[in-house]
Structure 1
Amino acid sequence: MIRVRRLARVTRVLLVVLAGLLMASAVAALERLKLGGSMAMRQRCSRWFMARLSNALPFRITVIGERPDRPMLWVCNHVSWTDIPLLGRLMPLSFLSKAEVRTWPVAGWLAHKAGTLFIRRGAGDSRLVQRQMTQHLQQGSPLLIFPEGTTTDGRSLRTFHGRLLGSAIEAGVDLQPVAIQYLRNGQPDTLAPFIGDDDLLSHIRRLLSHEQGEVHVHLLKPIASAGQDRAVLALQARQAVQLALFGAEPVEAPVMTPVSPSSARAA
C-alpha cells in the first residue's frame, strides 16, 4: 500500500514538473521573440506552478493572517525546500536563493525562469544582490528571502541577518514577516526539514512515503522600514516570527555604535 501511494504521489509530482517545464519553455520562447516575459508574467506563471506543486505534496496547509495588498519584502524562517512552493502559492512572488539551486537539474532552471535571484554565500556579492533586490522591489515586484541563510529543523530560529534588508529601506517598502511551521500529530515534523547532508531526491522519496503532515503559514503584521536601521529591522522580524512559532523570548537589542563623520568619510 505504501508503494502504491508513493508511486501515485511521485507520478503527480512528475506531471506537475512537466507542466512547469512546458510553461517555462513557453515563457523563454516569448522572451526570445520579445513578445512577453515580463517579471509580472513570470511571477504569475510561477504562482500557478507553485500552487500545483504544493497540492501534490503531502501537506495540509493552513494560512493564518491577511495577504498583503502591496509589494513588500517578505522575510521567513527556513525549514525546507518545500517552503518555496508552499509560500509561492499564496501570491505572485520572487525568491532569493543560494547559488547552488541554480545548478539543480530541472528545479534550478525553473527557479531561474520564475525570476529567482541567486546569491553565492561568502562570495562578497551581497551588495550587488542588494541593488538587484532594491530594483526588483522598486518595480513593484514582491520578493521573499530567508534571512537565517540556511535551513533549520523547525524547533528553533537562527539569527536573522540584516545585510539584505537594506533593500527594503532603499526601495521604500515594508517588511512582511512570515512564520512557517511543520507539524505531524501535533508535534514538530521531523520529516519535513531539509538539513545537513540530506539530498533532494532522498528527501522527496521520504516525504512521499508518509502520511500527510500539517503546515501552518502565519502572515504577520507588516513592519515599517522607513527610517529604520537594517539590524533593528532584522531583530523586529525575528521577534515576530519567534512569537508566532514558539512564544516570546527575550532578545537583546543590538548595540548601535555611533559613526563619526571622519569614519563615515573613510568608509
Structure 2
Amino acid sequence: MLALRPVERALWGAQRPVTPWITVGVCRVALPLLGLRLERRGRPMRAQGAMVANHASWADIFALNACAPLYFVAKAEVAGMPGIGWLARATGTEFILRERRTARAQRAALAARLRLGHRLMFFPEGTSTDGRRVLPFVPTLFDALFDDGLEGLHIQPVTLAWHAPEGQPDSFYGWWGEMDFGPHLLRVLAAPGRGRVEVIWHPPVPVEEHADRKALARRLEGEVRAGLEAALSPSPR
C-alpha cells in the first residue's frame, strides 16, 4: 500500500480506487488466522453515502473491511495508539475530536470525503460494548450527511453479531471499558475452536427521508438493534 499510494495519489488525487482493495484482501486473510469464520448477509450498498454499525471490538475492523472497501471514522485518540494508529492512518481513516470548537471543520472534512465517493463507516454508539447490546446512537455524528450540496445520499445500517467459540462466554469477542488490547488479542488467538461473526447489511436508508439527524439516528439504531437481537436469538433463523 505504501508503494502504491504515491502513484495512486498522482493519478487520482484524494480518491483511492486501488489501495482499499489491499486492505480488503489482508482482512480476508486475517480472519481465519484469528480463528474466525465470516458470514455475510445482504450486500454493501453501491450508492453514495455512509454506513453505520454497532461496535463490539477491535475485530469489527477486520470483519467490515473484509466485506468491502470503506473508510472508518474514529476518535482522534486512535491515531496515537501504537501500531493501530499507524494502520488507521495508512488506510484512510478520518479522525474526529469531540469538541465543539472543531465541529464545523470536521463536518466540512466528512462532507468532502462523501463528495469524493468515499463510503464512510461510523460507529455511532461512540464506544465499544460486550457485543450483546446496542447503545443509543449519537446524533451529532450524522451532521455531515445534511451538509448543503450533498444530495441523494444513502446510509446503510450494518449489524455485527459475534458468536464465541464453544465453551467460551458469549461476550468473548467484546472489548470495552478498560480492557487492554494486547491481552485481549492473545486470548482470541489462543482460543480453542473457532468463532464466527455475522455481518448483516440492511437495506440502505435515504437520508432525505428524515427531517433531521435525530430522526435518522433513531431509525438506524432501531435497524441495527433489531438485527442483533435476531442474530443472537436462540430460535432458528
| TM category, shorter | 0.7 to 0.9
Distance 1:152 1:221, change over 3 A: same
- The equivalent residue for 1:125 is 102
* Alignment match of 2:92 (pick from 87, 97, 115): 115
Q: Secondary structure at the match of 1:226?
A: helix
User: Is it true that 1:181 corresponds to 2:161 in the alignment?
Assistant: yes
Quote the offset at 1:124 in angstroms.
4.3
State the TM-score, normalizing by the size of structure 1.
0.76
Highest relative contact order (Cα 8 Å, sep 6+), 1 or 2?
Answer: 2
- The equivalent residue for 1:242 is 225
* Alignment match of 1:99 (pick from 76, 85, 99): 76
Instruction: Report matched runs for 1:27-38 at 5 Å.
Output: 27-30=4-7, 34=10, 38=15
The number of residue pairs the alignment matches comes to 223
Q: Secondary structure at the match of 2:63?
A: helix
Distance 1:42 1:150, change over 3 A: same
1:149 alignment partner AA: G
CA contact (8 A) 1:74 1:175 kept: yes
CA contact (8 A) 1:182 1:188 kept: no
User: What whole-Å deviation, never above 9, does each CA across 1:122-151 have from its counterpart, x for those lacking one?
Assistant: 464233222211111111111100000000
1:108 alignment partner AA: G
Structure of higher CA gyration radius = 1
- The equivalent residue for 2:28 is 51
Q: Secondary structure at the match of 2:18?
A: helix
Distance 1:86 1:113, change over 3 A: same
2:76 and 2:87 map into 1 onto residues whose CA distance is 14
CA contact (8 A) 1:73 1:176 kept: yes
* Alignment match of 1:193 (pick from 174, 183, 198): 174
1:182 alignment partner AA: W
Q: Secondary structure at the match of 2:226?
A: helix
* Alignment match of 1:148 (pick from 112, 121, 125): 125
- The equivalent residue for 2:3 is 26
RMSD: 2.3
1:36 and 1:72 map into 2 onto residues whose CA distance is 20
- The equivalent residue for 1:68 is 45
CA contact (8 A) 2:158 2:199 kept: yes
